[in-house]
Structure 1
């Protein structure tokens, strides 16, 4: 069976200055990570921030500038970036079109929750 979710632009919420749709809750998914589809309007920028999770950004469409701990890089569709816990980062869209990326993050608490849920499912089978 295929469980398919599509980006629902009417359900976007704002976090860190970016419109996004969170991956969870999703009853079909038991995962050791969380994620969000992110949409940044032309001229927009996310708030610089840091957190304790590891994070992976996957650029989906458009182009932007990614800044991590003061280092700036072009960030374009097809690029991946791995962010370490504690790194201060933000995305800035200087282009004339939306920039979209997918963010995935994880930490030991998310992994432990996944393992506990997985064990319950195995015991119930």
Structure 2
């Protein structure tokens, strides 16, 4: 059996970022070839901006790529700098604050049980039954 090792690269289009949650972003939605159990977005928080505080049922990871900001989780601020990875549990209220003179960029990835179950179903697998 010969495996197909075709790759697909999605390019960041900095000139056409979408404004959402108080920042500029480009969403990565699972496309057919990706078939992933998650969604994600490249996020650019401009100098002096802060993202809209929100909470949701999904699990989420933020990966800081460039710059320095603060992450406010349930009213407590934490330094958030390039190279940091943050796990946000479902239900926490969070926002990113950029009080620096430069832009701050991070990648957000989120998932929930339904997304994971859909991924497993597409692969012909049933989710594990709790023991």
User: Do these two structures clear the TM 0.5 threshold for a shared fold by scoring above it?
Assistant: yes
Shift of the 69–16 alpha-carbon distance from structure 1 to 2, 3 Å rule, reads: same
Aligned length: 120
State the alpha-carbon separation in 1 of the partners of residues 95 and 62 from structure 2. 11
Conserved? CA contact 2:30–2:36, under 8 Å: no
Q: Does the 8 A contact of 1:13 with 1:19 survive in 2?
A: yes
Q: TM-score, normalised by structure 1?
A: 0.90
Contact 2:30 2:39 in 1 (8 A): no
Indicate the residue corresponding to 1:80 in structure 2: 85
- Which one of the candidate residues 60, 69, 73 is aligned to 2:74? 69
* CA distance, structure 2, for counterparts of residue 10 and residue 119 of structure 1: 40
Distance 1:87 1:62 in 2: 24
Structure 1: any 5+ residue segments left out of the alignment? 121-125
TM-score (norm 2): 0.86
Q: What is the distance in 1 between the residues matched to 2:43 and 2:123?
A: 28
Give the conservation status (yes or no) of the 8 Å contact 1:30–1:118: no
Structure 2 equivalent of residue 100 of structure 1: 105
Match of 2:9 among 4, 7, 13: 4
Distance 2:74 2:93 in 1: 5
Shift of 1:13: 1.0
Instruction: Report which of the two has the higher share of helix.
Output: 1
RMSD: 1.4
Structure of higher CA gyration radius: 2
Equivalents in 1 of 2:38, 2:16: separation in Å? 21
CA shift, 1:28, in A, is: 2.0
Q: Matches of 2:91 and 2:121 in 1, distance apart?
A: 27
| Contiguous gaps of at least 5 residues in structure 2 | 1-5, 126-131
Instruction: Please state whether the residue corresponding to 2:124 is helix, strand or coil.
Output: helix
Deviation of residue 112 (structure 1)? 1.2
TM-aligned CA deviation for residue 6 of structure 1: 2.2
